Chains A and B, each alone.
Chain A
Amino acid sequence: MTTEIQAQRPGLRAWRTLVVCEAKMVARDTSGLIVPLGLPLLILLMSASSAASQVVQNGHTALEVFVLPLALTIVIAMIAIVNMPSFLAYYRRTGILRRLAVTPASPALVLVAQTVVSIVQALLGLTLAVAVAVVGFGAGPPEDLGVAVGVFALASLAMYGIGMMVAALAPTPNSAVAIGLVAFFAVGALGGLFGGMATLPDPLASIGTTLPFGGAVQGLGAAWVGASVEASSLIGMTVTAVVGFAVAAVVFRWE
């Protein structure tokens, strides 16, 4: 009696429906928007004014070469590694995932829907922050806009790769924040979060540019001055994204 039973994965309709449902929930509980919308702006305002007047490289200010790339990277890392997993951990804590575990829903479906909605929020916040940097502090566009967008997209995927691993495992919202912060500071510290890569010992610095945080900061800075992005950064971010997602889908906990 088992021969005719097919294992059928939820189709496109399920992916779309879950994304729309997640988006509706965000729209209905707007307090969740404070971090993705407010954080980029806050970080930019804290660091922009001093850097805006300091020209460092062929006409580009420190704001464009260092501050903006760092701010964009901090923001996407914070939202991907700390903010997004806390929502999934909340679902796990309340038993929402437990209910989904007895349906054909897959870990990938749940992780990706959450990530898509989180990315849209992060993009809104980042657009706001970049607009403020341009209008308020006179930041100029990157020499190579295409490279900047590409690096940022790849960096986002890498950060969400790490975030998905946190989200897959953290049992409670508090532990998600704790694990997320540790992961954030670990990649951040090696990637120039505290005073630039130049202050790190050599071997650590080269590990740092390969990890997604340092890779993103370097890559965005390079795009702004029109230099080429280091291959090790691109490879590091790609590997982090792929490995993060694969590990998350395998170790995913429904409860």
Chain B
Amino acid sequence: MASHDLAIEAIDLRKRYGSTEAVAGISLGVHPGEVFGILGTNGAGKTTTVEMIAGLRRPDAGQVRVLGLDPATDRGKVRQVLGVQLQSSALHGSLTVSELVDLYASLYARPVPTGELIEQVGLTSQVTTRFEKLSGGQQQRLSIALALVGRPRVVILDELTTGLDPRARREMWRTIENLRSSGATVLLVSHAMEEVEALCDRVALFVAGQVAALDTPSGLTDRAGASSLDEAFVALTGQEPEEVL
């Protein structure tokens, strides 16, 4: 039975593509106001899991609740309170930054003012630049802005800072801290250890579509008798963390 005290709950989620079992029985619960990290190597099933939570892919088995709602059947309600940054998607290439923010803002009842949001992600001098002309990092920042435009109570960010330079990355971390202080719940997919360590209250380590360990960053480190999350990751998952920029 789903618990109503959790902002996000996944119970024994499974998803198979042909012979690949991408998600092989994942359960996790995220508390309201928590910043929860999912850490794992490429192909561990992170994207499949969060896209099932977002209602974008249908689980073969298992249950999802977002603020107590099923994203598949309560689509209309969940879409109002959930903001998502997808790892793979696209935006209308010939629209400018401000046009895109306005467009996505128009879909929500109480959007963040366009200028304010654009400033928050550091794109003020690109407002009139078309999406297709932005650098990879700028596109990423716009994509994060669009996840936040509807003042979501639950935010899913898949590969938050992959592709960002160190400065932009720190700015994104500040954005997450702001989200946390506003009371939003954040589910953050990453394969950057220091990011997860800096931001997350708790972390789930994903290996081959399953949760290998779930704890606070320091809890994981202690449990592995390690001196860093990097070391703990190796000890608890038996895998080398990937180098990411």
CA distance A25 to B91 in the complex (A): 12
Point out the residues of chain A lying under 8 angstroms from B55, CB to CB.
102
Q: A24-B99, A95-B90 are in contact. Are A14 and B106 (CB under 8 A)?
A: yes
Q: Which of these, B80, B82, B95, B150, contacts A25 with CB under 8 Å?
A: B95
Q: B170 within 8 Å of A by Cβ?
A: no
Say whether A10 faces chain B, with CB atoms less than 8 Å apart. Answer: yes
Flag whether A6 is at the interface (Cβ < 8 A).
yes
Across the interface, name the chain B residue whose C-beta is closest to A104: B79
Tell yes or no: A58 within 8 A of B by CB. Answer: no
- The count of chain A contact residues (Cβ–Cβ below 8 Å) is 30
Q: How far is the CB of A170 from chain B (nearest CB, A)?
A: 17
Q: Closest CB of chain A to B186's CB: distance in Å?
A: 15
By the criterion CB–CB under 8 Å, are B92 and A25 in contact? yes
Interface string of A5-17 (1 = CB under 8 A from B): 1111110011011
Shortest C-beta distance, A92 to chain B (Å), equals 10
Instruction: Give every chain A residue within 8 A of B90 (Cβ-Cβ).
Output: 94-96, 98-99
Separation in Å of the A17 CB from the closest CB of chain B? 4
Q: Give the docked Cα–Cα distance between A5 and B153 (Å).
A: 11
Contacts of B81 in A (CB 8 A): 5
Closest to A28 in B: B94
**Does B68 touch A at the CB level, under 8 Å?**
yes
Chain B residue contacts of A96, Cβ below 8 A: 89-92
Closest to A16 in B: B106
Interface residues of A in 115-166 (CB under 8 A from B): none
In the bound complex, do residue B106 and residue A10 qualify as a contact, i.e. CB atoms below 8 Å apart? Answer: yes
- A112 lies within 8 A of chain B by Cβ: no
Q: Let me know if A199 is at the binding interface, CB within 8 A.
A: no
Name the A residues within 8 Å of B54 (CB-CB): 102
Question: In this assembly, does A21 line the interface, its C-beta being within 8 Å of a C-beta of chain B?
Answer: yes
Please report the C-alpha to C-alpha distance between residue A17 and residue B55 in the assembled complex, in whole angstroms: 25
Chain B positions 186-238 with a Cβ under 8 Å from a chain A Cβ? none
A101 CB-CB contact with B under 8 Å: yes
B67 CB within 8 Å of chain A: yes
Interface string of B49-62 (1 = CB under 8 A from A): 00000111000000
CA separation between A6 and B108, bound complex, in Å? Answer: 12
Bound form: Cα–Cα A35–B240 in Å: 54
Q: How far is the CA of A14 from the CA of B79 in the complex (A)?
A: 15
Known: A8-B109, A21-B103, A95-B90. A1 touches B68 (CB 8 A): yes
Least distance between A149 CB and chain B CB atoms (Å): 32
Cα distance A24–B4 in the bound complex, in angstroms = 45
- A101 contacts which of B56, B77, B94, B146 (Cβ < 8 Å)? B56
Complex Cα distance, B107 from A14, in Å, reads 5
Check B88 for interface membership: any CB of A closer than 8 A: yes
Is A103 a contact of B79 with CB atoms below 8 Å?
yes
Least CB distance from B155 to A in Å reads 11
With A and B bound together, what is the CA distance between A104 and B76 in angstroms?
6
Q: Per-position contact with A for B102-145: 1 when CB-CB < 8 Å, else 0?
A: 11101111000000000000000000000000000000000000
Cα-based distance from A194 to B79 in the complex (angstroms): 48
Minimal beta-carbon separation of B158 from chain A (angstroms)? 11
Contacts A29-B94, A98-B89; A5 near B69 (Cβ below 8 A): yes
Complex Cα–Cα for A28 and B93 (A)? 10
Q: A6-B80, A98-B89 are in contact. Are A25 and B94 (CB under 8 A)?
A: yes
B32→A103 contact, CB < 8 A: no
Interface residues of B in 9-45 (CB under 8 A from A): 32
Closest to A15 in B: B106
A23-47 with Cβ < 8 A to chain B: 24-25, 28-29
Give B residues with C-beta under 8 Å from A. 4-5, 32, 54-56, 67-69, 74, 76-77, 79-82, 84, 86, 88-92, 94-95, 99, 102-104, 106-109, 146, 150
- 14 intermolecular pairs with C-beta atoms under 8 Å apart: A1-B4, A5-B77, A6-B109, A8-B109, A14-B107, A25-B94, A96-B89, A96-B90, A98-B86, A98-B88, A98-B90, A99-B89, A102-B84, A104-B108
